[in-house]
Structure 1
Amino acid sequence: MAGKLITERTGVNGDVSFLVRIREAGVAVSKTFKTKKEAEKFIREVKTKIDRGESVDITKIKKMTLAQIFDEYLKHNTVAKGKKYDLEKLKLEIGKVPLSNFKAGTFALYLKTKLEQEIPDQAKKKKSHPLYDGHQVVDPDTGKLKKKTYSESTIRKYYYAIKTALFWHAKHHDYTFDRKPFDDNPPPKAWEPRDRILEAGELDRLLEATNKMYVKREEWKCLILWQYYSCMRAGETLLMKWDEIHLDEKNPHHSYIFVPKENTKIADKKNAEDRKVPLRPEFFHFIKDRLMKLKKDGQQLVFGDYWSSSSVLAARFKVICKNAKVEDFKIHDLRHCAVSWYFVNTNLTDIEISKISGHIELSTLKRYATLRHSDIGTKLWANAK
């Protein structure tokens, strides 16, 4: 076998591995081992197979298209509806690309193209949906409507759908997963930080707009107020149970809401934990005097029986915002309002506020810091004579 077969590699943590590359008689195969002994054994096995005329490389697999790989992944795995939809869409966009052509450069070009691509109209669309303006937004430079482009969070879903399917396929067929396209191209951001909070009068307009809903008018009012006070994510709210609300009428400051770690979207993060959310006075009285009136016999979930998912909730909230003439506002922005209140009206530290809001990364809370009154000048002059 010609050329250097074994290359010793040292990782960033000092870990040593041995990469085997074999190129002979039409065979092209590479594999990484933890020990040199394993690498040498692999070379001997490949040599034996070559002598016998057996197939030892992944030439056929490299010729497979991404669509074939995605189909195989979907066939052998239980996949959520949303992820299945993403893979079916990817089959149409990049399905004809052979695995051998899926390189770091081509992947970078795909990601760049998607981020600049305008969101197309539905094939059978007859008229624009009044809540979405035909996927148009106001151009800040011209003040005119322009077509929306795909968000980074959407492209991020495609990124991980591709990576998951390719990683599974390599493991399933016992060949080395090519990490380079993903190592060279970091995933797009999961979300763009928003600073939108309610302005004077907008909360009243939102509550008033619920009267135009056909059903669940009082439930909507309570849901909006809950989000405005609680600092909770919409998904956490929908999973909230009545027995997780602990009111102490004799000692209201001992009252709290228990939020189980498994109900949060950060449940799998290292520092995720259950949290007890104390109640500010307005929140306590809202729950005691108004929300509790919604409770029915045998009902476990506070809001989850009314809305099946946070996406359904967000879509219906758009209707309320439109009727209230509250623009560029999402249901998650009510959480921003709640967190902002603590920065403006209390002296709680960032860590104390994070225990209420459930933020693991304190850096996420830094954008609220400008809302807090600064006593730095007072501290600097505290010891002046």
Structure 2
Amino acid sequence: MNGPGDDDARDGRLESLLAEAQAAVAYSANALRSVRDRFRDAHTEQLAQLERLRDEVASVDHRATEGSATGVAGMAVAATTAGAADTAGAADLANGPDVATGSDAADATGAADATGAATAAEAGADDARIRVLRRDEAIAARVAGAEQSALARVELGIRSLEEAWLFLDPDDATLVTDPGGALTMTDVQMRIVEAQEAERTRLAREVHDGPAQALANAVFQVEVVERMLAREPVLAAAELRLLRELLRRELGDVRAFISQLRPPILADLGLEGAIRDAAESMTALLGIPVGVEVDPGIREIGEASQTVVLRIVQEAMQNVRRHADARRAAIRATHEDGRWIVEVRDDGRGFDVGAVAARGRRNFGLQFMRERAELIGAEFEVRSRPDGGTVVRIAIPRGAEESR
């Protein structure tokens, strides 16, 4: 039987270990902040380089426009001078060899031709220079956009470590659950809050990396087209077509986000109808067949489980759209051995699940689906291999939702 001294010693060891864990998290957070600060400095330099390139493009473009106008004026002068030379030549024939009017005019014509040639050569050099600058500007803009996205992920990592540090505070027991006991209402509410925050973070990241970045690129393309319209209308038209396709593609992404934020679809169509709607939307976006097999009895599961099933199906279909390069996909929801089995499969490129896990890479889409499944006590599984397609599977035990 342990005495009070043994209990105190054990409590002291546990507090020491908890403090050690908290110190390790604090160290990691501080290290990541240092990385963040250096990253910001590098990103600031990249933005400054982008601004310098844009200024140089504008300067060369302006000079080229003025050179074009000068070249036109030079050609007009040359033509006028040539006409004068012809007239003066005729006058030479009439006046005799002592009058040099024709030769003087010819000299003027030669000078004008030389000036026009020099202007044309300068304009050609400016054209070549501006093409190189525009290429460099586009590359710098892409790099700056990628850096901005990476910096946002670093910031998210810092916030996660800060939250972990608070979670490890020995004086804060609000997030600690007895693993041997049943979940209390407070525990359930906390898990719901955590899931909501994770969902907000995911959507913020998706909007930042998707539509927000695309709109920034669109603004850049509009600026490029604006500069090209007067001088290169054919290339400007080609850029406008590319811009139209970009905006059309991103409009599809925005509609997909809106679809994910529409829980009322369950009330309007029921889970089976909502799954079929998700399949039809994906067929419209990708132009590939998406088969649907749903047991009508799935409407018997609780509302929370229906929401989770729909969200996982939607996220799995988004992964098919973004990554799979599939020719066909299928959604199946059946009742087997007392459990509801929901699968989303495709015949796309697939990936090595074990290799991804071994490298420690986080896939936020998979993480989102796994956390959603855990909220209702469902089993979550992903089966895939390179060039072998992917299967996302959840198994919901009967009564799982009611027991939580």
The two structures have a TM-score, normalised by structure 1, of 0.24
Structure richer in helix, relative to its length: 2
The two structures have a TM-score, normalised by structure 2, of 0.23
- Choose 1 or 2 for highest CA Rg: 2
